[in-house]
Amino acid sequence: MLRTRLMSAAVAIPFLAWTIFLGPLWFFNLVVLFFTFVALREFAAMALEEHQGAATMVTAGGMTIALAMGLMRSPAAVSAGIVLCLAGVLLGTLATARRDDTDMRSRVDMAGQILLGCLYGGLLLPHFISVRDLPDHGPQWVFFVLGCVMAGDAGGYFGGRALGRRPLAPSISPNKTVEGALASFAASLAVGAGINAMVLKALGPLEAVAVAGVVNVLAQTGDLLESMVKRAYGAKDSCWLIPGHGGVLDRTDSLVLPIVFVYYYAILSRGGLGLP
């Protein structure tokens, strides 16, 4: 398992670095939209495997939001796309319900699952496009987030295996430990400070450590949230697309919250820089 994870990382890291810094913007956007599509399909297959119509709505609705986020620079246009998409999801699921209370309740539950999938994948993941498109250090910010999260994942994995004793959240993810979480936090701080000093160069030393700390806490929170979703649906991994790592959801669960935080931190802390 460890060897497979390392081999996957050895392929992924150079590809990501080229895509972020050297590849054309349209290619980066296409990669993000592709992973968004796959993440939506994984969620739909996991949560709505017996309802293909609902699974299609998750994919279509989430991609509507993703395209609005990626292609429209106006916040009003993005908001309109989200509202229309979510209204369509609600109307589509509830309009097909029968009149008995049991079926109506199941349709409301299904609508909630569809909305969760659309927002989780379609709204959050495309923030990578928004961050990459920032006029001030956009690619460097993306690299900062990826570096902090990947370092935290590695630190948590090796720290947990070597030092892990006390369970962190046994009812959600039995293998995660307090010691692993602390090792993950420390690794993110160190790598975040290093990336800022060598690549990003947009934050003060203490500010970089603080931002890296928030990124790590959000990354670990996202990881636990996805573990909770998988446990609720009885799935070990969202799929087996990435050898040694599971599916796209298993790799992006720790990225979606940090990238949203970093986007708004970057534009608000710099006086609105990068706002459309």
pLDDT in tens, 28-79: 999 998 988 888 888 888 877 777 777 887 888 888 788 877 776 666 667 7
Percent of the chain with pLDDT over 90: 32
Distance (Å, rounded) from C-alpha 190 to C-alpha 140? 17
pLDDT in tens, 58-71: 888 888 788 877 77
Q: How many domains does the chain have?
A: 1
Given 3-state DSSP classes, what are the helix, strand and coil percentages for the chain, each rounded to the nearest 5?
Answer: 75, 5, 20
Quick one: three-class SS letters along 174-216? EEEEHHHHHHHHHHHHHHHHHHHHHHHCCCCHHHHHHHHHHHH
Residue 27: what pLDDT? 93
> 274 in a domain, yes or no?
no
* pLDDT surpasses 50 at 245: no
Question: Quick check: 97 and 107 in contact, CB under 8 A?
Answer: yes
Distance (Å, rounded) from C-alpha 52 to C-alpha 37? 16
> 153 in a domain, yes or no?
yes
For 264, the token pair is: 């708004």
Q: What's the pTM value of the predicted model, to 2 decimals?
A: 0.84
Question: Quick check: 78 and 122 in contact, CB under 8 A?
Answer: no
Instruction: Domain of residue 162: give its range.
Output: 2-269
> 155 in a domain, yes or no?
yes
> 276 in a domain, yes or no?
no
